[in-house]
Amino acid sequence: MILHIEGNIGAGKSTFIEALSKLLPWINIEYEKLDEWRNVGGVDLFNVYYNNPEKFGFHFEVVVLSTRIKTEHRITETAKNHLVVMERSMYSEKIFARYLFEKKFPITYNCYCKLHEMWETLKPADLEERYVYLTTPPDVCMNNIKKRNRKGEENITMEFLEELDKLHHETFCSLSLKDKVLVVPWKDCQWETQIFDDSNNILEFLFC
């Protein structure tokens, strides 16, 4: 099984995964490929994307999608017999593409969707996937972003986070994904603490 940890930028996904690994120390973990995005033919695409998303958004999202496909393809066999925890999924990649392209550049968005559909078609039918959705509020996400001070994220706005929050909620609370998603509400505490408080719900979601 692949368990995808979902949520907004700065929601605490990496922190949640680290806490989950203490609860389930035998899991396999796949983080986002940030280092690959920072060196695409010598260009820090992560940085230029946030500096000019309209110009470089499609380039960045295609690279992110390609690394996602390569990672999922590589771990498919492992995931049939083991629990693999991944930061984000194909659904969240599509959320960012929707925000960037759907209204302003519909042709670009439709082209992106064709690439997205290609992997969905090729993905093994017996691959089980589930999702944990962290509902961290946008203002908390913004504080987390400022604290980690990651290069390239200084141009992220509250408006951007609020729009992404709406799209995440719309996607992961939809009826089509309902039985595959565990929604974890934010309780104004550290994920390290909350994950042990919610451990019964998480274990039941994964193994029952």
Amino acid 146 reads K
Q: What is the pLDDT of residues 76-130, one digit of tens each?
A: 888 888 999 999 999 999 999 999 888 788 888 888 899 888 888 888 888 899 9
Q: What is the pLDDT of residues 2-32, one digit of tens each?
A: 999 999 999 999 989 998 998 889 999 999 9
Q: Token match 């999202």: residue?
A: 61
pLDDT tens digits, 178-189? 889 999 887 766
Of 9, 4, 88, nearest in space to 50 by CA = 9
Q: How many domains does the chain have?
A: 1
Range of the domain at 101: 2-207
Write out pLDDT tens, residues 144-177: 999 999 988 998 999 999 999 999 999 999 877 8
Judge contact between 47 and 73, C-beta under 8 A: no
**CATH, residue 23:** 3.40.50.300
pTM of the model: 0.91
104-137 burial, b if ≥16 CB within 10 A, otherwise e?
ebeebbeebeeebeeeeeeeeeeeebbbbbbbbe
Amino acid at 173: C
